[in-house]
A and B are shown apart, each in its own frame.
Chain A
Amino acid sequence: MMDTIGFGVVAGVSVVSALYVVRSANLIHAVLWLALTLLASAVLYAMLEAPFLAGVQVLTYVGGVVTLMIFGVMLTQRHDGTVAAASNVRNWAGVAAAIALCTLLFVAVGRSDLTTGTPPPATTTTEIGRSLLDEHLVAFEALSLLLLAAIVGAVVLARRKDHEAGDATVPTSPPSARRGAE
């Protein structure tokens, strides 16, 4: 009973905040609503007895991704009284895509067997670690190689821009941030 009420509240928060993410005209508001959505899904993970996933969700998404998004919005938008406006024009293609996705998810959830399930082990961290470095080792290492390549690429791009821009053009980031990034 308590679980059902709790699930209802958390699911409601997650859906309503997700709606506000796409409804907000102000980009910062949208990002903050997104943080709430992500927190609500972390709570859902915790309720499904996947505490590790919940913790990592908060750590990476709310702490990392949302923070980076805010940083990006602040660096690219001016804040002189004008709001950082996001366009939310009604778009029939978007509606069609949303309906298609919803149908797909509905069918997929309907077809998967959610009734049976073994109770999760007491400490999932060990199991996750073992399966990542044993069963899925190749995929895991390929992923880290990809991320490393992305980081190196980002550094190369940032450096080239610095050299080409010279002193004449306005830097895209404040001097302190650029110096710190080097």
Chain B
Amino acid sequence: MNVHVRSLVLAVVVVSTVLALTTFAIWFERKFAGRMQSRLGPTRVGPVGLLQPVADAFKLMQKESIRPANADWALFNLAPLLAAVCALGAAAVVPLAPGLAAADVDLGVLFVLAIGAVTVLPVFIAGWSSNNKFALLGGMRAIAQSISYEVPLLLAALVPIILSGSMNLSEIVRQQAEGHWIAVWPFFLGIPAFAIFLLAMLAESNRIPFDIPEAESELVAGVTTEYTGMKFALFYLAEYAHTLIASALGAALFLGGWDGPFGPGLHWLLLKTFVLFGSVYWVRWTLLRFRSDQLLRICWTWLVPAGVVLVMGAGAWVAWGPLP
């Protein structure tokens, strides 16, 4: 019973922390985007606009919840919930500090990849059930993108798995803490794999430059066109939470997770996560959106072959390389 209570407490703590960080992340992005465009960003609500996300949440709660007449109501209402659950689920296996993870499962990486594979379903359900051509087009794009980018994501995640010989995220981080971070040594495998992992993760969470499922200049708002109020807020939240957790996973798989100088701990994981998260927004506010055929071509002609070469290289390194 003790184990169950511990899991429950950790689950509540982790989910609340991720949600709180997500709210902060929304403020961070608006401020960051503002500064990049020589604006101030939010300043009115609270000190330096810190309470802006709270105000946004209250505004969204007051909105009327509209459902299109011909929408498939069950699926239409289910999609936002599923999106939030899928985004938060992956947080369970992130190792937070030495010996601490909400769920220290042996196949943590596989669990994360499996959840990532399911993440596309709520996006498609939202697009299809809205019965709106823009939403449907967004859903179709999401499916095409997800089928393609799942392959490089798996290949890139295989590199740390092969190098550390484990699928347990805590074990991968522990080995990096004892030896080298995978992005540092062997860097010719670690850095490209890290880059592919980040790109594919961005594509899975539909961030710019991979946000063609909701390209607002072409598809109104893509899959979220018909959503209002809290249902829209859940999608919004899921997207930010997904990016945040993807950054944490990238930090754990390639950048040593909680490891760092002056004592390991949660602060290092948070720092690395926020640096990655910030760079995601840096990319978002710098680059333009890809066309969907360009997106698929990048995946199949560059990322997949590169991933295969990296996996083979990692195997060769483990078999014949110098001992760590």
Contact, CB under 8 Å: A67 / B114: no
| B95: min CB distance to chain A, Å | 17
Interface residues on B, range: 35 or more
Q: Which of A29, A59, A122 contacts B106 (CB 8 A)?
A: A122
Contact, CB under 8 Å: A32 / B143: no
If A67-B143, A67-B147 are given as contacts, then 18 extra A-B residue pairs at C-beta distance below 8 Å, sorted by A number, are: A29-B75, A32-B125, A59-B114, A62-B118, A63-B114, A64-B147, A64-B150, A66-B121, A67-B124, A68-B147, A70-B143, A71-B143, A81-B70, A122-B106, A176-B293, A179-B296, A179-B297, A180-B148
| B205: min CB distance to chain A, Å | 15
Would you list the 3 A-B pairs with minimal beta carbon distance, nearest first? Answer: A63-B117, A180-B296, A55-B110
Contact, CB under 8 Å: A55 / B114: yes
Chain A residue at smallest Cβ distance from B120:
A67
Contact, CB under 8 Å: A123 / B293: no
Contact, CB under 8 Å: A64 / B117: yes
Residues of chain A having any CB pair with chain B under 8 Å? 28-29, 32, 35, 39, 42, 51-52, 55-56, 58-59, 62-64, 66-68, 70-71, 74, 79, 81, 122-123, 125, 175-177, 179-181
Contact, CB under 8 Å: B297 / A180: yes
14 pairs, A vs B, C-beta closer than 8 Å: A32-B125, A51-B107, A55-B110, A55-B111, A55-B114, A62-B118, A63-B117, A67-B124, A71-B140, A71-B143, A176-B296, A179-B293, A180-B292, A181-B296
When distances are taken between beta carbons in the complex, the residues of chain B under 8 Å from A64 are: 117, 147, 150
Contact, CB under 8 Å: A180 / B144: yes
Contact, CB under 8 Å: A74 / B297: no
Cα–Cα distance between A29 and B147 once the two chains are bound (Å): 20
Chain B residue at smallest Cβ distance from A80:
B133
When distances are taken between beta carbons in the complex, the residues of chain B under 8 Å from A179 are: 293, 296-297
| B8: min CB distance to chain A, Å | 14
Cα–Cα distance between A70 and B141 once the two chains are bound (Å): 12
Chain B residue at smallest Cβ distance from A63:
B117
When distances are taken between beta carbons in the complex, the residues of chain A under 8 Å from B70 are: 81
When distances are taken between beta carbons in the complex, the residues of chain A under 8 Å from B116 are: 63
When distances are taken between beta carbons in the complex, the residues of chain B under 8 Å from A175 are: 293
| B198: min CB distance to chain A, Å | 20
Contact, CB under 8 Å: B110 / A59: yes
Contact, CB under 8 Å: B150 / A63: yes
B269 at the interface (CB under 8 A from A): no
B105 at the interface (CB under 8 A from A): yes
When distances are taken between beta carbons in the complex, the residues of chain A under 8 Å from B154 are: 59
Instruction: Give the tally of cross-chain contacts (CB within 8 A).
Output: 87
Contact, CB under 8 Å: B113 / A59: yes
Cα–Cα distance between A55 and B107 once the two chains are bound (Å): 8
Contact, CB under 8 Å: B121 / A62: yes
Cα–Cα distance between A136 and B5 once the two chains are bound (Å): 43
Given contacts A58-B114, A58-B118, A63-B114, contact A70 B106 (CB under 8 A): no
| B299: min CB distance to chain A, Å | 8
B167 at the interface (CB under 8 A from A): yes
Cα–Cα distance between A35 and B86 once the two chains are bound (Å): 14
Cα–Cα distance between A71 and B117 once the two chains are bound (Å): 15
Chain B residue at smallest Cβ distance from A126:
B165
B90 at the interface (CB under 8 A from A): no
B23 at the interface (CB under 8 A from A): no
B128 at the interface (CB under 8 A from A): yes
Cα–Cα distance between A176 and B141 once the two chains are bound (Å): 10
B18 at the interface (CB under 8 A from A): no
The A-contacting residues of B in range 70-92, CB under 8 angstroms, are 70, 75
Cα–Cα distance between A125 and B166 once the two chains are bound (Å): 9
When distances are taken between beta carbons in the complex, the residues of chain A under 8 Å from B107 are: 51-52, 55, 125
Contact, CB under 8 Å: B147 / A71: yes
Chain B residue at smallest Cβ distance from A71:
B143
Chain A residue at smallest Cβ distance from B292:
A176
Chain A residue at smallest Cβ distance from B133:
A79
Contact, CB under 8 Å: B293 / A56: no
Given contacts A58-B118, A180-B292, contact A70 B110 (CB under 8 A): no
When distances are taken between beta carbons in the complex, the residues of chain B under 8 Å from A122 are: 106
Given contacts A55-B111, A63-B117, A122-B106, contact A70 B292 (CB under 8 A): no
B243 at the interface (CB under 8 A from A): no
Cα–Cα distance between A125 and B162 once the two chains are bound (Å): 12
Cα–Cα distance between A55 and B105 once the two chains are bound (Å): 12
Produce 1/0 per residue, B148-160, CB < 8 A to A: 1010001000000
Produce 1/0 per residue, B275-296, CB < 8 A to A: 0000000000000000111011
| B105: min CB distance to chain A, Å | 7
When distances are taken between beta carbons in the complex, the residues of chain A under 8 Å from B110 are: 51-52, 55-56, 59
Q: Which of B117, B120, B128, B295 contacts A28 (CB 8 A)?
A: B128
